[in-house]
Amino acid sequence: MKRNTTTPGAEAGSTSSATVDARQATADTVRWIERAVIGLNLCPFAKAVHAKRQIHYAVHLAADDDAGLIDELLAQAAALVAMPASKRDTTLVVAPNALADFLDFNDLVARAERRLNKAGFDGTLQLASFHPRFQFAGSNADEIANATNRAPHPTLHLLREESVDRAVEAFPDADAIFGRNIERLEALGADGWAALDVGPGATTR
Residue pLDDT, tens place only, 97-135: 999 999 999 999 999 999 999 999 999 999 999 999 999
Annotate the chain with three-state secondary structure.
CCCCEECCCHHHHCCCCCCCCHHHHHHHHHHHHHHHHHCCCCCCCHHHHHHCCCEEEEECCCCCCHHHHHHHHHHHHHHHHHCCCCCCCEEEEECCCCCCCHHHHHHHHHHHHHHHHHCCCCCCEEEEEECCCCCCCCCCCCCHHHHHHCCCCCEEEEEEHHHHHHHHHHCCCHHHHHHHHHHHHHHHHHHHHHHHCCCCCHHHC
What's the mean pLDDT in 136-164? 97
List Cα–Cα distances, 26 to 1, 48, 59, 72, 197, in angstroms: 10, 19, 7, 16, 15
Q: What is the pLDDT of residues 159-169, one digit of tens each?
A: 999 999 998 88
Q: Decide if 58 contacts 4 (C-beta within 8 A).
A: yes
List Cα–Cα distances, 112 to 33, 45, 126, 179, in angstroms: 23, 24, 11, 27
Whether the per-residue pLDDT at 14 is higher than 50: the answer is: no
The alpha carbon of residue 142 and the mean position of all alpha carbons in its chain are separated, in whole angstroms, by 20
Q: Decide if 108 contacts 70 (C-beta within 8 A).
A: yes
Q: What is the pLDDT of residues 30-71, one digit of tens each?
A: 999 999 999 999 998 999 999 999 999 999 999 999 999 999
What's the mean pLDDT in 192-205? 91
Amino acid 40: pLDDT: 97
Pairing of strands 125-130, 155-160: antiparallel
What domain range includes position 100?
A: 5-204
Cα separation, 101 vs 112, whole angstroms = 17
Amino acid 4: pLDDT: 47
What's the mean pLDDT in 178-196? 97
pTM, two decimals, is 0.90
Amino acid 19: pLDDT: 86
pLDDT bin (cut points 50, 70, 90) of residue 2 is very low
Whether the per-residue pLDDT at 12 is higher than 70: the answer is: no
pLDDT bin (cut points 50, 70, 90) of residue 173 is confident
Amino acid 189: pLDDT: 98
Amino acid 10: pLDDT: 36
Q: Decide if 97 contacts 63 (C-beta within 8 A).
A: yes
pLDDT bin (cut points 50, 70, 90) of residue 6 is very low
Max Cα–Cα distance, the chain, nearest Å: 49
Domains held by the chain: number: 1
